[in-house]
Chain A
């Protein structure tokens, strides 16, 4: 069995403001780079001109406002959501290895999204009209929510989360959701099948303002809820009983945490498919740099997640241009080794402690 604890981190930490400014700058740089690279020659100068109100050619206007800007907005929102939902899941499970992709929350959200795509037509039209384009994100959020509840039930007893149980339960839940998704694929008609294929490729390609708008409410809900959980999450690191004795309403905290993690993951998965490892790499890097205090970790994770995803998207659409590498491949390529390394370190740390 693996230990709960991650690797020991040096207590030398960056001053708070330095890190915040650095991360904000990184987001800005990534955003400008993302807006100014691509097939259409639209450079930094054009961008500055557009900001100053100088005219752009109609073609450039479309490239900037209808292609690159929505893609950037979606990338920022998805990156922030995935990173923050990683932080929340890790705080909830008291374990730095919890990631929405690894523990099955993304798969559950994916099943919800596929259900909505394939069976959404069966819903009464009054409902589909009210929810409209938000149907897929909301269904994905529900799928992620149910998965997280099951996961928490299986993996956690009052005092502690068993890492092995959490990862195994994640495998089982992913398999189950994958199988159900497979069944639904058989039921899908041609048009739905095309939607599914595009969706499951896990990419920010085809970003539109409509897509962004559909996912935004859930993401905004999760991202505005998350900072309120910070103090309770800190206390929860000492276990549920201790958190309660320190004045935290643990049941309420857990419910909000599950809700916001599921909403963030669900919305991100619904609009971008399976982009993995952002939720584990970003919090890990930040804990190294600033320590585990959730009051700083949550906002910083949102910034770093947004910047990293935009940069990953930039690489994915330029490295094999004019083709595009699915961004999920890229994040896994960098994230999976980090995950393995953390696993190794946590094992060594446990041995040292037991020695």
Chain B
């Protein structure tokens, strides 16, 4: 379990996150949603210790603030929003780093499977910096995937923490990546994904955590979170909700708050 208790983050005087208490469970895909600036990415970064925070974070029982990188790396892998690579590493080298950096055994078969899982098989010799934005993003996802390839380790479940994993992907790739995350969770691992797209979140997530201005406004099943009053408050526009036969609740933004024309 990834257990966040009373997590608060402030940047200078500004309080970015306020008393977030949230548990992510193994075997579940938890989507963190909210408007721009609501604190979604900050919540993920705080959970990873990338930004200083108050409160406690426990991953499978380890207090992460007191744990060494080598202890945590076998338990969780991270896909950041954007990764700048300093040298001309190939895609294959980047994916292999997922295991090699932390002194795990290198496993070329795992690397190949991870690349195939994101649709980049056969591209191992490409310079990562010559790939398109979407390919780069999927390449780094393959690296994260290779790092925690078995969703359940002998010591407990493994975790994928993804910051906007589908941000620069086309429709087909979005579904591919979300299906991959879904099957990681179905196999017993835990997935936490910061998501912009509510419809995709509702389609794939077991639970959604919805942030408004740094507070946890709602946590629950997509049906619980996808409620017009909450979403209208968060996004400042009228929203109509539908129910798809396969996809569950999905929303259509209606006439937004009209712009003054003059």
- Report which of A8, A234, A236 forms a contact with B127, defined as CB distance below 8 A: A8
Q: How far is the CA of A245 from the CA of B78 in the complex (A)?
A: 7
Q: Report chain A residues within 8 Å CB of B101.
A: 231-232, 234-235, 243, 246-248
User: Is the CB of B69 closer than 8 A to any CB of chain A?
Assistant: yes
Q: Report chain B residues within 8 Å CB of A248.
A: 69, 101-102
Q: How far is the CA of A11 from the CA of B83 in the complex (A)?
A: 20
B interface: dominant SS: loop
- Report which of B80, B90, B147 forms a contact with A11, defined as CB distance below 8 A: B90
Q: How far is the CA of A7 from the CA of B130 in the complex (A)?
A: 10
Question: Which residues of B202-260 have CB atoms within 8 Å of chain A's CB atoms?
Answer: none
- Report which of B48, B73, B88, B147 forms a contact with A292, defined as CB distance below 8 A: B88
| Nearest B residue (CB) for A295 | B100
| Nearest B residue (CB) for A240 | B50
Q: How many residues of A contact B (CB 8 A)?
A: 35
User: Is the CB of B76 closer than 8 A to any CB of chain A?
Assistant: yes
Tell me, rounded to whole Å, the shortest Cβ–Cβ distance linking B126 to chain A: 6
Q: Report chain A residues within 8 Å CB of B72.
A: 245, 247
Q: Report chain B residues within 8 Å CB of A6.
A: 87-88
- Report which of B70, B89, B127 forms a contact with A293, defined as CB distance below 8 A: B89
Cross-chain contact A246 with B98 (CB below 8 angstroms): yes
Cross-chain contact B90 with A291 (CB below 8 angstroms): yes
Cross-chain contact B97 with A249 (CB below 8 angstroms): no
Q: How far is the CA of A231 from the CA of B76 in the complex (A)?
A: 19
Tell me, rounded to whole Å, the shortest Cβ–Cβ distance linking A156 to chain B: 12
Q: Report chain A residues within 8 Å CB of B78.
A: 241-242, 245
User: Is the CB of A68 closer than 8 A to any CB of chain B?
Assistant: no
Question: Which residues of B83-129 have CB atoms within 8 Å of chain A's CB atoms?
Answer: 83-90, 93-94, 97-98, 100-104, 125-127, 129
- Report which of A8, A241, A247 forms a contact with B130, defined as CB distance below 8 A: A8
| Nearest B residue (CB) for A234 | B97
Tell me, rounded to whole Å, the shortest Cβ–Cβ distance linking A297 to chain B: 9
User: Is the CB of B77 closer than 8 A to any CB of chain A?
Assistant: yes
Q: Report chain B residues within 8 Å CB of A245.
A: 48, 69, 72-73, 76-78
User: Is the CB of B74 closer than 8 A to any CB of chain A?
Assistant: yes
Q: Report chain B residues within 8 Å CB of A250.
A: 69
User: Is the CB of A244 closer than 8 A to any CB of chain B?
Assistant: yes
Q: Report chain A residues within 8 Å CB of B14.
A: none
Produce 1/0 per residue, A68-99, CB < 8 A to B.
00000000000000000000000000111000
Interface size class of B (residues with CB under 8 A): 35 or more
User: Is the CB of A287 closer than 8 A to any CB of chain B?
Assistant: yes
Q: How far is the CA of A249 from the CA of B86 in the complex (A)?
A: 19
Q: Report chain B residues within 8 Å CB of A239.
A: 80, 83-84
Q: How far is the CA of A242 from the CA of B80 in the complex (A)?
A: 8
Cross-chain contact A95 with B127 (CB below 8 angstroms): no
Q: Report chain A residues within 8 Å CB of B147.
A: 246
Cross-chain contact B68 with A249 (CB below 8 angstroms): yes
Cross-chain contact A234 with B100 (CB below 8 angstroms): yes
Known A8-B129, A247-B74: A291·B102 in contact at CB below 8 Å: no
User: Is the CB of A36 closer than 8 A to any CB of chain B?
Assistant: no
Cross-chain contact A9 with B88 (CB below 8 angstroms): yes
Q: Report chain B residues within 8 Å CB of A242.
A: 78, 80, 83
Cross-chain contact B76 with A235 (CB below 8 angstroms): no
Question: Which residues of A291-333 have CB atoms within 8 Å of chain B's CB atoms?
Answer: 291-293
Question: Which residues of A1-52 have CB atoms within 8 Å of chain B's CB atoms?
Answer: 4-11
Question: Which residues of A263-296 have CB atoms within 8 Å of chain B's CB atoms?
Answer: 287, 291-293
Q: How far is the CA of A245 from the CA of B64 in the complex (A)?
A: 12
Q: Report chain A residues within 8 Å CB of B90.
A: 11, 291
Tell me, rounded to whole Å, the shortest Cβ–Cβ distance linking B188 to chain A: 21
Known A8-B127, A8-B129: A237·B98 in contact at CB below 8 Å: no
Cross-chain contact B70 with A287 (CB below 8 angstroms): no
User: Is the CB of A160 closer than 8 A to any CB of chain B?
Assistant: yes
10 further A-B pairs in the complex, CB-CB below 8 A; given A5-B86, A235-B97, A248-B102: A5-B84, A8-B129, A237-B86, A246-B97, A247-B69, A249-B69, A250-B69, A292-B87, A292-B88, A292-B89
**Could you give 12 example pairs across A and B, Cβ below 8 Å?**
A11-B126, A94-B86, A234-B100, A236-B86, A237-B86, A237-B89, A239-B84, A245-B69, A245-B73, A245-B76, A247-B102, A292-B87
Q: Which residues of B contact A (CB under 8 A)?
A: 48, 50, 68-70, 72-74, 76-78, 80, 83-90, 93-94, 97-98, 100-104, 125-127, 129-130, 147
Q: Which residues of A contact B (CB under 8 A)?
A: 4-11, 94-96, 160, 231-232, 234-239, 241-250, 287, 291-293, 353
Leading 3 A-B pairs by shortest Cβ distance: A247-B102, A247-B73, A292-B87
